[in-house]
Chain A
């Protein structure tokens, strides 16, 4: 399967702490995208990182990409209760299809 896998499946942290989620995939990619989903609702696009990029920042979010290890990580700094959600990575292959990972369920405790 080309589907990515997030690790861990679930993560629980205190407000103010940092949260790190990892995504591993199997095939070569054009880019990798991270999404957030609150309580089974629509997804929100967070960051797109291209295969020739190694790191990208957006506010409190930092994404890294290691194509040699076929892995990416999403770091959320200074977490807030509102960050509680499921986070998904999606890989874009040469055929420009998106393959979503299984997701990490993040709980931020106030």
Chain B
């Protein structure tokens, strides 16, 4: 069974731009969660989607948004990029939800904002 894939793996943007990251979950998984990892703040939960609906949301500004498609693939978007958005963005899929089911993580997208 193919694992969670994330594209692109690396991305360089400048302040003020916007970016879209993509995540393809494991086949059959309906829940996709997104996380931001930085040296200073550690791992922080962004949001979780289940069956195309946002089910949970972390404490991030509205510049961070996401969506999930009918095939469970998910995208997250960050608008008006700031230097502090430089991070590793991780996507994870689970059968029915990160809270009670094992999550499988992708390799991440390394975003650098200049």
**A interface residues (Cβ-Cβ under 8 A, vs B):** 3, 30-31, 33, 40-45, 48, 88, 90, 92, 95-103
Closest to B100 in A: A31
Closest to B107 in A: A42
Partner of A99, one of B45, B90, B105, B108: B45
Q: How far is the CB of B70 from chain A (nearest CB, A)?
A: 23
Q: How many A-B residue pairs have CB under 8 A?
A: 57
Q: How far is the CB of B15 from chain A (nearest CB, A)?
A: 24
- Which of under 10, 10 to 19, 20 to 34, or 35 or more describes the interface residues of B? 20 to 34
Query: Quick check: A98 and B97 within 8 Å, CB to CB?
Result: no
Q: How far is the CB of B46 from chain A (nearest CB, A)?
A: 10
Instruction: List residues 4-21 of chain B with CB under 8 A from any CB of chain A.
Output: 4
Which of chain B's residues have a CB closer than 8 A to the CB of A102? Answer: 42
Query: Quick check: A103 and B90 within 8 Å, CB to CB?
Result: no
Query: Quick check: A41 and B99 within 8 Å, CB to CB?
Result: no
What are 15 A-B contacts defined by CB distance under 8 Å?
A: A30-B99, A31-B99, A42-B105, A42-B108, A43-B92, A43-B103, A44-B105, A45-B104, A45-B105, A92-B98, A96-B97, A98-B98, A98-B99, A99-B45, A102-B42
